[in-house]
Structure 1
Amino acid sequence: MSAPEDTGPGEPRPVLTVRDLSVQVATEAGAKTVLDGLSFDLRAGETLALAGESGSGKSMTALAIMGLLPKPMARISGGAIRLGDTELTSLGERVYRKIRSARVAMIFQEPMTSLNPLMTVERQICEVLLEHGAVSRSQAPKRALELLRDVRLTEPERRLSQYPHELSGGMRQRVMIAMALACDPEVLIADEPTTALDVTVQAEILDLIRTLQAEHGTAVLMITHDMGVVAEMADRVIVLRQGRQEETAPVRDLFAAPRTEYARMLLAAVPRLGAAPDRPEPADSRKIVEVDDLSVRFDIAGGVLNRTVARVHAVEGVSFHIRAGETLALVGESGCGKSTIGKALLGLVPWQGSIRIDGQQTRGRSRAAMRPVLRDIQMVFQDPGASLDARMTVGDQVVEPMVVHGLARGSELADRAEWLFQRVGLSPDMLRRYPHEFSGGQRQRICIARALSLSPKVIVADESVSALDVSVQAQVLDLMQELQAQDGLSYLFISHDMAVIEQVADRVVVMRLGQIMEEGARDAVLRDPRHPYTRRLLSAVPVPDPTRRRPDLPETSGVEEISPIFPVGQGPARVELTELSRRHRVARDAMAKT
């Protein structure tokens, strides 16, 4: 293990010092060490990244520093944590509460679970200010407004009176940052602050953290598994693996010449935009999925009589097709209608228009009549943990679709389950285990095995790798492409990650506010984007190279915010596509501006 560097002459004294920190958690088999002998220094104005996969001890480090380890399940078993001259490991809860937010603050991964849904934004920020005596009660609302302006939140006066559920994910994260910086802390811990956000919102949040750090001189401990974020934000990096410090180095040195095999593996698994190899065109030109003029709208009730007063136009007049053996990628930010289209293909939401699966029209079919169609199309969801039943063995869940469709029984089911597990790289002796006994990547392989059980022609993969570590993500993507090559599977691959899209897609459809902005062959759309929204998505992708700066996001001209909600009888103007070539179309309004 590498020891922290000594403070040299002229170097600022560390604001946070961690020495030989170890954390244990209680298990049925006894105490288990989840963090083993971690040491580092963090100086004012510096960003130190803790990088590694799930279970490496990153978040445990943050919770230990904040005094938030879940007791009695977890405890600090050794080492020291000093904030300036204050030793934190010996403090009682009452003293620790005075330090949190005031001297060391934390931004959590999921702001919705960190904010109180019953309190307005103003009240929550004021609570932090008043708890630490930062301002008087009469000054607190004014200071809360200033903080929202500091984090570049739109219409800050209106946001103060809103509740968390009324804000977008990016807005909620900005509120969390405002609360974290309310008392001007010396140290800011950012625990996966952008993992749950769209790529453009992620870029805005990272830019914001960097700007605020420069203005306040705050030391930042950035916790992430995204090596692109590490390259963009960090001055130094500590790579953690299974609770131990694997490697520590300045960020440029780590990316240029990683010393350990594990660090090399992490960096090699990072998808890099522009580095994807060519994909051969599918040999079969049959159209497996044909979607024409698809619209999905959700009613909003209101008024005294609770009648429908408005509609959310989630999808509006979308048309596309998928050929046999082809991967069509739907890309765009949250709320653009990607997942809604996937659900419409499986009949999970009401829709209008035309959907054909292998030539069979699905409009107007009863549930019973849809059964044979659903054998040809299956879905793999984003969160494998939520997709699997915790009370059933994974073997039973993998063969359940065959039981429902009456395709096999008895020993045939058991044989089929073993074969499916082997196909997705799992051992058949795992069939009798339960979902909680598997890692996230293994659970996603189980979901893929279940989707394959009916031998479908097309799989809808809805953000199927976005919740996975980068190395596990690479393994799952390789598996999906291997299965495609063997079985001629077609994929509707739904994602907001442009680098992943480039790896897997044959064609790309860029969506915004329920309509198609640009579509075409992968290289045409990603290498020669014509719509300003597509350019903005591509500009926001983190560059996993600290020697290259991610370009500034283009101005939002042409991609201004519009609501998808319209009064009954009204709707959005339909976007018309202009054909640039046989393999590339773009919204006509975008061409008029270029």
Structure 2
Amino acid sequence: MTGTVLTVRDLSVQVATPSGAKTVLDGLGFDLRAGETLCLAGESGSGKSMTALAIMGLLPKPMCRITGGSVRLGETELVGLSDAAYRKIRTARVAMIFQEPMTSLNPLMTVQQQLTETLLEHEACTRAEAPARALQLLQDVQLTEPERRLKQYPHELSGGMRQRVMIAIALACDPEVLIADEPTTALDVTVQAEILDLIRKLQRDHGTAVLMITHDMGVVAEMADRVVILRHGQEVESAPVHEIFATPRSDYAKELLAAVPRLGTAPPRPEKPGGVPVLEVEDLSVRFDVRGGVLNRVKARVHAVEGVSFRIDAGETLALVGESGCGKSTIGKALLGLVPWDGSVRVMGRQTRGMGPASMKPVRRDIQMVFQDPGASLDSRMTVGDQVAEPLLIHGLASGSELKDRVEHLFRRVGLSPDMMARYPHEFSGGQRQRVNIARALSLSPKLIVADESVSALDVSVQAQVLDLLQEIQDEDGLAFLFISHDMAVVEQVADRIMVMRLGQVVEEGARDAVLKDPRHRYTRRLLSAVPVPDPHRERPERIETETLGSPIWPVGEGPERLKLEEIARHHRVAV
């Protein structure tokens, strides 16, 4: 590492609110050296992203403004710089990768047009050289079939591919500083590992300084040289990464690290005796038509779920794991009749195949769902109390004072105060909104809850609280859970059994410890090898590669070969 490329001193930012100006960044300072990775870590609202926007000159005006301090890029003072001057610096000297690549790319422009625009804007090459340079950038970020990708639009790419395009755009002009704002939060664990490896490789090749913003302490351990921990806009602790993990000085840093789920540390889970089957699924298949041509005929079908069978007993948690597109969430939606399906689904012994909305109404009392995004799951125009009461009214289970009493009880049950019932969703944090969703799901006293990535959008400490709450409810009520997730460390905390899915089919299933401690399928081993380990002292496991994932889309009349599961040990089956 050589000299300092970015210097931040006493940086303060205020946001206008109805009750007056609120300080969201208070006296922050740090140095970033060439070739170094500095991680800004902390929970939502700590000021991490606000720091990045302030450095990039992207604070929303007039709502936000820098009220004090200095940001120097080399010898250039960035605070107070005009928009025209900032345009010459962005991407050319300091570039940024955003959390959600789909909202960062222009949906109306091809990948080549977006890369070329950046190169020409900063005079990185001539117009004649731009296509070859764009192709080289996609090759540098190891995008498959780069010639084809240049002609595609963002919606035609997967999340991981879009993020690679964002990295290519960010590195197009060989910047001195790369700011990565939660660049892997929305990605699967395997894609996340590939993106982090890519950033490390490009950093080595170009000597770029990286400012990594994340709430994932596993990512911090893998990527950081130094760490600054933020809370409520202030620096809590700053130290080299090994010191932060080995000897955290502040109570907050200790709490943050203690809340991180670590794969391989969950206590043994006692084997539960076979109970009453709450859910029995046999040969479940879900297919979606792909139409095209002048007559809009069915040209192909997406085989989202192909011949999946399982059962869940009362008081048991079955975890469904796998990458995006493997069919996990589709199974959850099929169980509630939200997508058309074939096969057999029995809820408390009742066959739901062929049931209409009216017939499904009593079934839905027994099976409820908690979705991934707690904000999008709630109606912004209704108070949270009314939303928790709504299922009870729809099913005619309570009214008047009894309804109010039951809703108050549900709020207390999930750790919320009854005086919060009159508030609206925007007045709550993400963790509190998810508690409201859980209260609503519990309102009908269901036998099974489908938790679809229900904690993936939450900070680690809030995630731990919600998982503890779900476990407590299960212990008290004997609830069954279908827990859908791509986070193997979280799955280890909650699951009794695990089913690993790939391209709509199960490739491995068994008791939690059998699958996690003795994975037999190569794909399962790949998922486990990609989990970031929140310990900088531990050597990273070698990444396991598998053959190309393939596609779930097949011509009409064709389909994938059905996998057969072979029992290799008690409660452990693997696809052959």
On whether the aligned pair clears a TM of 0.5, the verdict is yes
AA at the equivalent of 2:381: R
Aligned partner of residue 146 in structure 1, secondary structure: helix
Q: How does 1:164-203 map to 2 (within 5 A)?
A: 164-203=154-193
- CA separation in 1, counterparts of 2:78 and 2:545? 45
Match of 1:561 in 2: 549
- CA separation in 1, counterparts of 2:443 and 2:163? 40
- CA separation in 1, counterparts of 2:557 and 2:385? 49
- CA separation in 1, counterparts of 2:276 and 2:339? 27
Q: How does 1:149-160 map to 2 (within 5 A)?
A: 149-160=139-150
Q: How does 1:539-558 map to 2 (within 5 A)?
A: 539-556=529-546
Kindly provide the CA deviation profile for residues 223-250 of structure 1, in whole angstroms up to 9, marking residues without a partner as x: 0000000000000000000000000000
> Is 1:417 aligned with 2:428?
no
> Is 1:506 aligned with 2:496?
yes
Aligned partner of residue 376 in structure 2, secondary structure: helix
Kindly provide the CA deviation profile for residues 204-230 of structure 1, in whole angstroms up to 9, marking residues without a partner as x: 000000000000000000000000000
- CA separation in 2, counterparts of 1:489 and 1:412? 24
The number of aligned residues is 576
- CA separation in 2, counterparts of 1:177 and 1:281? 46
Match of 2:568 in 1: 580
Match of 1:13 in 2: 3
> Is 1:466 aligned with 2:456?
yes
- In the alignment, is the contact (CA less than 8 A) between 2:375 and 2:430 conserved in 1? yes
Kindly provide the CA deviation profile for residues 466-491 of structure 1, in whole angstroms up to 9, marking residues without a partner as x: 00000000000000000000000000
Aligned partner of residue 264 in structure 1, secondary structure: helix
> Is 1:456 aligned with 2:446?
yes
AA at the equivalent of 1:517: V
Q: How does 1:387-466 map to 2 (within 5 A)?
A: 387-466=377-456
- CA separation in 2, counterparts of 1:548 and 1:202? 19
Q: Post-superposition, which runs of at least 4 consecutive aligned residues in structure 1 deviate over 4 A? A: none
Match of 1:64 in 2: 54
- CA separation in 2, counterparts of 1:280 and 1:453? 29
> Is 1:253 aligned with 2:257?
no
Match of 1:128 in 2: 118
- CA separation in 2, counterparts of 1:370 and 1:284? 27
- CA separation in 2, counterparts of 1:55 and 1:97? 28
- In the alignment, is the contact (CA less than 8 A) between 1:25 and 1:31 conserved in 2? yes
Match of 1:8 in 2: none
Match of 1:333 in 2: 323
Shift of 1:555: 2.6
- CA separation in 2, counterparts of 1:525 and 1:279? 13
Name which of 244, 260, 268 aligns with 1:278.
Answer: 268
Aligned partner of residue 523 in structure 1, secondary structure: helix
AA at the equivalent of 1:231: A
> Is 1:146 aligned with 2:133?
no
- CA separation in 1, counterparts of 2:66 and 2:273? 59
AA at the equivalent of 1:534: T
- In the alignment, is the contact (CA less than 8 A) between 1:540 and 1:550 conserved in 2? no
Shift of 1:280: 2.6
- In the alignment, is the contact (CA less than 8 A) between 2:451 and 2:484 conserved in 1? yes
TM-score (norm 1): 0.96
Deviates more, 1:306-315 or 1:275-284: 275-284
Shift of 1:284: 5.6
- In the alignment, is the contact (CA less than 8 A) between 2:319 and 2:482 conserved in 1? yes
Shift of 1:560: 2.4
Kindly provide the CA deviation profile for residues 304-323 of structure 1, in whole angstroms up to 9, marking residues without a partner as x: 21111100000000000101
Name which of 505, 515, 527 aligns with 1:525.
Answer: 515
Shift of 1:132: 0.5
- CA separation in 1, counterparts of 2:454 and 2:522? 27
Aligned partner of residue 375 in structure 2, secondary structure: helix
Match of 1:591 in 2: none
Match of 2:206 in 1: 216
- CA separation in 2, counterparts of 1:567 and 1:232? 42
- In the alignment, is the contact (CA less than 8 A) between 2:447 and 2:479 conserved in 1? yes
Kindly provide the CA deviation profile for residues 358-414 of structure 1, in whole angstroms up to 9, marking residues without a partner as x: 101000111111111110000000001000000000000001111111111111111
- In the alignment, is the contact (CA less than 8 A) between 1:330 and 1:492 conserved in 2? yes
Kindly provide the CA deviation profile for residues 284-309 of structure 1, in whole angstroms up to 9, marking residues without a partner as x: 61111000000000001112211111
> Is 1:571 aligned with 2:563?
no
Aligned partner of residue 345 in structure 2, secondary structure: strand
- CA separation in 2, counterparts of 1:325 and 1:537? 27
- In the alignment, is the contact (CA less than 8 A) between 2:318 and 2:495 conserved in 1? yes
Shift of 1:283: 4.8
- CA separation in 2, counterparts of 1:137 and 1:568? 44
Aligned partner of residue 317 in structure 1, secondary structure: strand
Match of 1:495 in 2: 485
**Structure 1 unpaired stretches of 5+:** 1-10, 589-594
> Is 1:112 aligned with 2:111?
no
> Is 1:36 aligned with 2:41?
no
- In the alignment, is the contact (CA less than 8 A) between 2:368 and 2:449 conserved in 1? yes
- CA separation in 2, counterparts of 1:528 and 1:226? 26
- CA separation in 1, counterparts of 2:516 and 2:63? 48
- In the alignment, is the contact (CA less than 8 A) between 1:200 and 1:540 conserved in 2? yes
- In the alignment, is the contact (CA less than 8 A) between 1:518 and 1:587 conserved in 2? yes
- In the alignment, is the contact (CA less than 8 A) between 2:2 and 2:35 conserved in 1? no
AA at the equivalent of 2:397: L
AA at the equivalent of 2:557: G
Q: How does 1:237-316 map to 2 (within 5 A)?
A: 237-283=227-273, 285-316=275-306
Kindly provide the CA deviation profile for residues 243-272 of structure 1, in whole angstroms up to 9, marking residues without a partner as x: 000000000000000000000000000000
AA at the equivalent of 1:570: E
> Is 1:538 aligned with 2:528?
yes
AA at the equivalent of 1:568: V
Shift of 1:550: 2.0
- CA separation in 1, counterparts of 2:342 and 2:569? 29
Shift of 1:278: 1.7
- CA separation in 1, counterparts of 2:71 and 2:295? 60
- In the alignment, is the contact (CA less than 8 A) between 1:232 and 1:549 conserved in 2? no
Aligned partner of residue 158 in structure 1, secondary structure: helix
Aligned partner of residue 275 in structure 1, secondary structure: coil
> Is 1:363 aligned with 2:353?
yes
Match of 2:312 in 1: 322
TM-score (norm 2): 0.99
AA at the equivalent of 1:200: T
Kindly provide the CA deviation profile for residues 144-197 of structure 1, in whole angstroms up to 9, marking residues without a partner as x: 000000000000000000000000000000000000000000000000000000
Shift of 1:347: 0.3
AA at the equivalent of 1:247: E
